[in-house]
Every structure is written in C-alpha cells, then in structure tokens.
Structure 1
Amino acid sequence: MSELNESAATLRMLVGKLSRRLRESAPPGDLTWSQVSVLGYLVRDGAMTVTELAAAEGVRTQSMGATVASLLTAGMVQGEADPSDGRKTRYTATAAARALISANRALRDDWLVRAIDTRLSADEQQQLLSAIPLLQRLADHAS
C-alpha cells in the first residue's frame, strides 16, 4: 500500500472517530441522529422537499418521508406548498428545531474548543488551523 493510500485510510478512520466523539458530546435527546441531521440541513440551507432532503442524506425518498413525518409529529418541521409547484411540499424547521440545533452545535463546538485547547500546543493549534482550508476542499469535492 502506498504512503498516500495509508494516509487516506488513517484520515478516514480519524474523521470517523472525531465524528463519533462530537456526537457523544451532544446527545440528540428524544430525536435520532437521522432526525437531527435533517433538521441541520433545514436550519442551514432553508426550506427543502423530501426529495431534496433524501438526496442530501443519500437515502431513499420513502425513508426520508418517514423521517420528515416523524419530525412533523414532533413539531420540529412545518410544511408549505412549493410556490413554483403546488404539488410539492417544502419543509422548514420550527423555532423549537432551530433552538435544538443551535444548542446541539454549541455543545459540540465547546467540546472541540476544549479538546484543541487542552490537547494541542500553540504550534499544533496553528498547524490544525492551517489544514482547515485543505480539509474543506476535500469535503466540498463532489464524488
């Protein structure tokens, strides 16, 4: 295995581990992580259809329909007819959902700030900050 292959495998593993640690730092309460993820899209990107949400999450439309239905029941989303195509419904996050997502993000951000501050030296913190644009480019790259 080449050095690049080994590095890619290590990076994948570390990103997964970091993601799990971030999730552990802010439990989703009564919601599932799938529901929290959908709310995150709606808060960040605005109103979306079930089809758009399914594409964003990489799941089947039927599965997303069930997730959205459960969020409707929980009062976390509301639906309105699409202004350009009344046959479609666009969903938005309610105030309760926005507050939940904001609190969840704050908990994860706080955990990450504490981890960076306590585990990395000032030089290491600078190295990490310098790598963020590179990681962003990788994350934004379409497959």
Structure 2
Amino acid sequence: MDEEKDDVAGLAARAAHDTRVTFGRLRRRLLEVAVAGDLTPSQASVLARLGKSGPASTSDLAAAERVRPQSAAKTVAALEAAGLVERHPDPSDGRRQLVTLTERGLERHRGERRARQEWLAGALRERCDEAQLRAVVEVMALLDDVAGI
C-alpha cells in the first residue's frame, strides 16, 4: 500500500514537473508568435492582461505582472506613446488612474490572440491525429479543473 502511494506521488511529481516545463516553453513560443517586433514581451503581456481583465491601475498591473511599480509605469508609458492604451480617472477614486485599451490596442490584442490561436491549431494539426487531439482536449479540461482548485 505504501509502495502504491509512493508510485502515485512520484508520478504526480513528474506530471507536475513536465506540465510546468511544457507550459513555460509553450508560453514563450506563443509570445514569440504574437509579438510583432515593436512590442517587448512585457508590453505584450500588459496588453494581453488588459484585453482579458479590463481596466487596471498601474499598481494593479505591477502586482499582476510581478514587477516593480516603476517598471509597470514605464511599460504603460510606452504603450500609451504607441497609442495602444490610455489613462482615465478611476470613477470610484479620482486620485487613481485606470489604464484601458484604446480601439487600436483592442484590435492589436485581438489580432495577436488570433495569431496565437492559429499557430497553435496548425502545430497541433501537423503533429497529432484525431485521438491525440481529443486527448489534448481532455487533459486541458483536467488541468483547468486543477487550476480552479
């Protein structure tokens, strides 16, 4: 019985390691696909976060991106200079500024998301048969469930 628990624990540890490594590689590859040469990975990440989560303060973005507030402020300033984001007073606290996507920023976010989706779908089609694609869908549902714990 203890041997079975050890086997399961070892298998879970390997699955956790392999998942983490693979998702890291996949994330980097998706960023390469989506980021046109004029945005840094940090800028692309903030653009994606705003597209997914909506308006946020620079300090909220810094916390979410796990960077210093000064770094987030530089990233936001560069995105603002490129016309991809704009700042507005927070309706609930006029002292705070919320960063939002401009129409151009929203279009860029959607285009990059579409490019990532198309690249990944093509890569999966090239390498997987129908049974493997179904397995990927099942595993992603399981991992989504684990992430929601």
Q: TM-score, length-normalised on structure 1?
A: 0.89
What are structure 2's unaligned runs of at least 5 residues?
1-8
Q: Are the equivalent residues in 2 in contact too, given 1:80–1:91 (CA < 8 A)?
A: yes
Instruction: Give the distance between the partners of 2:29 and 2:39, measured in 1 at CA.
Output: 18
Among 116, 122, 142, the residue aligned to 1:114: 122
| Identity among equivalent pairs (%) | 38
TM-fit CA distance, 1:96:
1.2
Does residue 94 of structure 2 align to residue 100 of structure 1? no
Alpha-carbon distance in structure 2 between the residues aligned to 1:139 and 1:40: 20
Out of 37, 50, 70, which is 2:45 matched to?
37
Aligned to 2:135: 127
Is the partner of 1:59 in helix, strand or coil? coil
Computed over aligned residues only, the root mean square deviation of the Cα atoms, in angstroms, reads: 1.7
Taking the TM superposition and a 5 Å limit, the aligned residue runs for 1:1-143 are 2-141=10-149
Q: Secondary structure at the match of 2:67?
A: coil
Deviation at 1:7, TM superposition (A): 2.1
After superposition, give the CA deviation of every residue in 1:44-85 in whole Å (9 maximum; x if it has no partner).
221110111112111121211111111112211111111111
Contact in 1 for aligned 2:61/2:72 (Cα 8 Å)? yes
Q: Contact conserved, 2:56 with 2:99, CA < 8 A, in 1?
A: yes
The answer as to whether partners of 1:28 and 1:36 remain within 8 angstroms in 2 is no
Cα pair distance change 1:130/1:41, threshold 3 Å: same
Tell me which amino acid in the other structure corresponds to 1:80.
H
Give the Cα separation in 2 of the matches to 1:128 and 1:109: 15
Number of residue pairs the alignment of both structures matches: 141
Instruction: Find the residue that maps to 1:31 and give its secondary structure.
Output: coil
AA partner of residue 122 (structure 1): E
Rg larger for: 2
* Structure 1 pair 4–134 and aligned structure 2 pair: CA distance change class (3 A): same
Contact 1:49 1:90 in 2 (8 A): yes
TM-score (norm 2): 0.86
